[in-house]
Amino acid sequence: AQSVAQPEDQVNVAEGNPLTVKCTYSVSGNPYLFWYVQYPNRGLQFLLKYITGDNLVKGSYGFEAEFNKSQTSFHLKKPSALVSDSALYFCAVRSRDTGRRALTFGSGTRLQVQP
Amino acid sequence: EAQVTQNPRYLITVTGKKLTVTCSQNMNHEYMSWYRQDPGLGLRQIYYSMNVEVTDKGDVPEGYKVSRKEKRNFPLILESPSPNQTSLYFCASSLTGLAGVETQYFGPGTRLLVL
């Protein structure tokens, strides 16, 4: 079975400081990994994904994530946080090597950026 | 405008009364999916569909049915709703499910309360 862990329910960071939202995963074989963001009263919006190749993936709004196979992690990062980045962030995984197309999401991490 | 629409957006019902939540996309996407979002549990996939007349179970299919008679529509059916199906439901679509790595586009969500 595949699973995703987001160990922090909430991350607080001051505007202008770097931010990290953690994600670890478990999957059979190689993973496809995703980050989505949810603003209040909205559906999820895609941020970035890792398929293969370069371990550092750049996405929307200045976010990036680093795939670390040995640590089975895919942490989301941004060099300088904005108040408008405050939202709920979800990491998701599916296996590249099985026929199963279902996507498994983590429980979400609320990012609060203080002015 | 490319979008995924869901109806209704809010629904209060009683135990045992059959209901259907509709989902429609105008992007000619082959892959469609239903998720439920619960506090502390993140998003869990209920069912997904690779194309017309092709559906498969996600992680939490019990108590739900789906159908895919047309490419654009993917209704979620609760034959006999129970209070544990009170949740926020999201429909999503992507271009194809073959690679399984396309960006998913999410609808605005349907908040369901089962009394």
pLDDT digits (tens, 9 = 90+) for B43-77: 899 999 989 999 999 889 999 999 999 999 999 99
B38 touches chain A (CB under 8 A): no
Q: Which residues of A touch B107 (CB under 8 A)?
A: 43
- pLDDT, residue A1, reads 77
Distance from CA of A113 to the nearest CA of B (A): 21
- pLDDT, residue B42, reads 85
B106 touches chain A (CB under 8 A): yes
- pLDDT, residue B38, reads 92
Among B31, B29, B70, B76, smallest CA distance to B53 is for: B70
**What is the share, in percent, of chain B residues with pLDDT greater than 90?**
77
- pLDDT, residue A99, reads 64
Put simply, the answer to whether A46 touches B104 (Cβ < 8 Å) is yes
CB-facing half-sphere around the CA of B33: CA atoms within 13 A: 29
Residue B98 pLDDT exceeds 90: no
- pLDDT, residue B97, reads 59
- pLDDT, residue B1, reads 79
**What is the share, in percent, of chain B residues with pLDDT greater than 70?**
95
Residues in chain A where the model's pLDDT stays below 50: none
Contact A92, A37 (CB under 8 A): no
Put simply, the answer to whether B108 touches A42 (Cβ < 8 Å) is yes
- pLDDT band at B107; cut points 50, 70, 90: very high
- pLDDT, residue A5, reads 95
C-alpha span between A9 and A107 (Å, rounded): 8
- pLDDT, residue A113, reads 97
Other CB atoms within 10 A of residue A115 CB: 7
Residue B100 pLDDT exceeds 70: no
Selected residue of B106, B110, B111 to mutate for chain A interface (largest A Cβ count, 10 A)? B106
- pLDDT band at B39; cut points 50, 70, 90: confident
Q: Which residue of B has its CA nearest to A59?
A: B103
B40 touches chain A (CB under 8 A): yes
Q: Which residue of A has its CA nearest to B46?
A: A102
- pLDDT, residue A41, reads 77
Q: Which residue of B has its CA nearest to A1?
A: B59
C-alpha span between A17 and A13 (Å, rounded): 7
- pLDDT, residue A43, reads 82
- pLDDT, residue B101, reads 62
B73 touches chain A (CB under 8 A): no
